[in-house]
Amino acid sequence: MCVSRSFLKSLLFTVLAFTLFANFTLAQKADFEQAERFTTQMMEKMVGSTEVDPEWIENQDRFWYTYENSEGKHWYFVDANRETKSKLFDQEVMASKLAEIFNKPFNSKDLPLKDFEYNTGEGFFEFNVDSIQFTYRIDNNSLIKGDSLSEEPSNRWKTYSPDSTWIAFAKNHNLYLMKADDPDSAEYQLTEDGQRWYSFQADEEDTTSNKRLRSNARWFEDSEKLYARRADVRDVEELWVINSLKERPELQTYKYPMPGDENIPQDEVWVFDADSKEGIKLDTDKEEWEDESLGGAYFNDGGFYTGLDSDYLYILRRNRQWNKIDVLQANTETGDVRILFSEESKPYFNTRFAQLAVLNDDSEFVWFSERTGWGQLYLYDQNGNLKNRITDGFYTAGDIVKIDTTERTLYFEAYGKEDGVSPYYAQLYKVNLDGSDMKRLTPENAHHDISASEEGNFFLDNYSRVDMPTVSVLRDGEGRVVQQLEKADISRMEEAGWKAPEAFKVKAADDATDLYGVMWKPFDFDSTKSYPIISYVYPGPQTEPFPVGFTIRGSRARPATLAQLGFMVIAMGQRGGSPLRSKYYHNYGYGDLRDYPLADNKYGIEQLASRHSFIDIDRVGIFGHSGGGFMSTAALLTYPDFYDVAVSSAGNHDNNMYNLWWSEVHNGVKKVTEKVRTDSTGTDSVKSEWQARVEPNTELAGNLQGHLLLVHGTVDDNVHPGNTIRMADALIKEGKRFDLMMLPGQRHGFGEYTPYFERMMWYYFAEHLLGDYRDNVNFNIPDYEE
């Protein structure tokens, strides 16, 4: 076959033209200006407050709150019984009084009142301005100037008894008491054996100081006794980070138990009598658990419960595998402990909702259990015998909000009970303790954030969806809206071009389980164009990455900003990701901590691309922080032909060096015993050791094909920087090209460097998904205080 030279020239020209056209179409420009207009900081400035955070007054149905909108910042006072809402004070009068004192003007719409605290009993409130303490008396509108805060010691070290008679605090790792009404009161030392790593102080940063510090003690309601949990970590191995930003680089040492460690924290609980100053250590060890918890007991954080008096303390005790739990009743006079009831739940307990309520002066208990495969509430008598099931069904009964013991009515949040309502939307219900007359109190198809009054049955309800700004209402015990207090004003944001994200539902890789998520589009979205897709991920198992309510703040709002560059950005759940659904769904990833969420994420993206022609399935990015950093790198390396770019920040890439609670609980731990020959005589001994290995990302390093940016703070004492350094080491050994950024002096959340990191991520995705390589690489980080 003979081909002419002119034909070859024509063919070459056609190929070159097509190539140039293809490259031109791929080299899209990222809209950095649009992203800057809609950062979370800018959206906050346009909207102000998005919910009411009530400060309920003790033993009353009244509260106060602050709220900021287009008219400025306001302080309101609400009386639920009278159904009234009023200004707490006249802000013009306050501005005028402050102007006289400081000899400078104040903006009445933006008063700089810090550490605001209202005292209803005395009829005044306190705050500080420019480090000066002030008291404002409501009866006569008088403003009283106090001392400079810089001249007064901080009050953070004080833990007051409920009757304000005593103050508990720590000093030199020991526990102390002093009278609250006398600043020169004598100090009563309650313990003498405190030391570093075996301490009663809550502030672990201060290790040598002789000053007063906040303790970890808590008071019983009758103010007669206090109790404290003390963890013995003296034998736990140490970990270190170095802060190179100090004048002389500084080594930080801390205790950090890792999966499979033999020496782990051992907890003990002490109770002290305020009058006698005598203390007693509760007998909480469980000998038959020695092979599982090394002779110690684990206590749920916050897993201490009290009745109306200080005779008993109730404690949740777990074994090391977290699949066995005892509910303990401890006698605070003798230190004796008895087991009220026990439960086993494999592979592990749902710690998100494990809760105990003590009723009617220790005569009844409400307990959360997943024994049916769904989290429900149960009623027990004073001897630990099951009386009846309070809730029942194929949904999750969540937090107990309030219990009316007179009416024998329980108010609680639940997830997934209503057809047609997202299983991630909290709904408020009431039910009698015998399980009868259940009623839904929040009819709106939205997520409800509930706060209960101190006295009667009133509830502050902030309800919203991702596409519906928050409405803040006050409800009574029947769910009736007593009054609407606020509605988030997004008019300025809408005028600037903001559009709400869209909720979606896809199937998991099993083609049966429903997964939920949210999609953010560019605000100038054009359905005829083709956009790369980026997945924002977090594997759980304690939470999933997508928002369920309206939000413009924090990590779950940042995908909206990223989308403005010219991307479709999504966040969705995966099997194993959330405790809000069934126990099967929550425990799906047990024993496979690295791989379990990956197939669902990939399959979900593929479904969205098949639905929407504007999604370019050939350009896929993924990013996440912490567990999301772990997951995003694992996804890029597991499916190198699918994911093209990953930005992985603060990732726990090797969970074998992450904390033992995360890895052992969610991936599993077992004790292995074997016979070991000890000498030439043939005598054998028994050797036991814990084993808890998680598959690390480093084993996948050889699979890298796309672009990977690893980021970590150099003094991260949660996920140690060694996680990312090990990942980098594995990639280097495989000869892989990748990008690495260590943020100097930053801990796990990146702190002040967050805006810099965000823009670095923008540029990274713009370069590798849009082909937008800019010369102006310096980041313009605005001063949002202006």
400 touches 412 (CB < 8 A): yes
Tokens of 484: 């609407």
Q: What's the pLDDT tens digit per position in 223-251?
A: 999 999 998 999 999 999 999 999 999 99
Q: Residue 563 falls within a domain, yes or no?
A: yes
Q: Residue 426 falls within a domain, yes or no?
A: no
764 CB-contact burial (10 Å; exposed 0-12 / middle 13-18 / buried 19+): buried
pLDDT of the residue at 293: 43
Q: How far apart are CA 324 and CA 292, in angstroms?
A: 10
For residues 497 and 605, state if they share a domain.
yes
Domain boundary among 122, 151, 180: 151
Instruction: Tell how many helices (H) and how many strands (E) occur in the chain.
Output: 13, 44
For residues 501 and 575, state if they share a domain.
yes
Tokens of 461: 């309800």
Q: What's the pLDDT tens digit per position in 69-84?
A: 989 999 999 999 999 9
Helix extents (H) in 58-197: 91-102
Task: Report how many domains make up the chain.
Answer: 2
763 touches 777 (CB < 8 A): yes
For residues 68 and 107, state if they share a domain.
yes
* Helix-helix angle 627-638:598-611, to 10 degrees: 70
Tokens of 135: 């008291």
For residues 29 and 108, state if they share a domain.
no
CA 529 from chain center: how many Å?
37
- The verdict on whether omega for the bond into residue 579 sits within 30 degrees of 0, i.e. cis, is no
Domain boundary among 116, 151, 186: 151
Domain range for residue 730? 23-47+492-654+706-770
Q: What is the CATH number of the domain that holds 734?
A: 3.40.50.1820
Q: Residue 296 falls within a domain, yes or no?
A: no
For residues 28 and 98, state if they share a domain.
no
For residues 576 and 594, state if they share a domain.
yes
For residues 28 and 113, state if they share a domain.
no
Residue 727 vs residues 595, 661, 708, 710: alpha-carbon distances, Å: 16, 22, 11, 9
Low-confidence stretches of the chain (pLDDT < 70) are 1-27, 120-122, 149-154, 287-305, 676-688, 776-777, 784-786
Q: How far apart are CA 366 and CA 678, in angstroms?
A: 52
Q: Residue 723 falls within a domain, yes or no?
A: yes
Q: Residue 718 falls within a domain, yes or no?
A: yes
pLDDT of the residue at 298: 43
Q: How far apart are CA 129 and CA 146, in angstroms?
A: 11
Residue 665 vs residues 219, 542, 697: alpha-carbon distances, Å: 31, 11, 19
Q: Residue 107 falls within a domain, yes or no?
A: yes
pLDDT of the residue at 288: 58
Query: 503: which strand partners?
Result: 518
For residues 143 and 67, state if they share a domain.
yes
pLDDT of the residue at 11: 47
For residues 30 and 120, state if they share a domain.
no
For residues 646 and 572, state if they share a domain.
yes
What is the pTM (predicted TM-score) of this model?
0.92
Q: Residue 129 falls within a domain, yes or no?
A: yes
Q: How far apart are CA 146 and CA 124, in angstroms?
A: 14
175 phi and psi, to 5 degrees? -100, 140
Residue 104's CB: how many other CB atoms inside 10 A?
Answer: 9
Query: 475: which strand partners?
Result: 459, 481
Q: How far apart are CA 560 and CA 38, in angstroms?
A: 8
Helix extents (H) in 205-339: 290-293
For residues 64 and 137, state if they share a domain.
yes
493 touches 46 (CB < 8 A): yes
pLDDT of the residue at 4: 52
Q: How far apart are CA 579 and CA 602, in angstroms?
A: 22
- Report the DSSP pairing between strands 298-306 and 312-318: antiparallel
708 touches 633 (CB < 8 A): yes
pLDDT of the residue at 66: 95
For residues 530 and 621, state if they share a domain.
yes
The DSSP symbol for 278 reads -
- Report the DSSP pairing between strands 356-359 and 364-369: antiparallel
The DSSP symbol for 622 reads E
pLDDT of the residue at 776: 66
Q: Residue 551 falls within a domain, yes or no?
A: yes
Tokens of 346: 């494999």
Side chain identity at residue 186, one-letter code: A
CA 772 from chain center: how many Å?
35
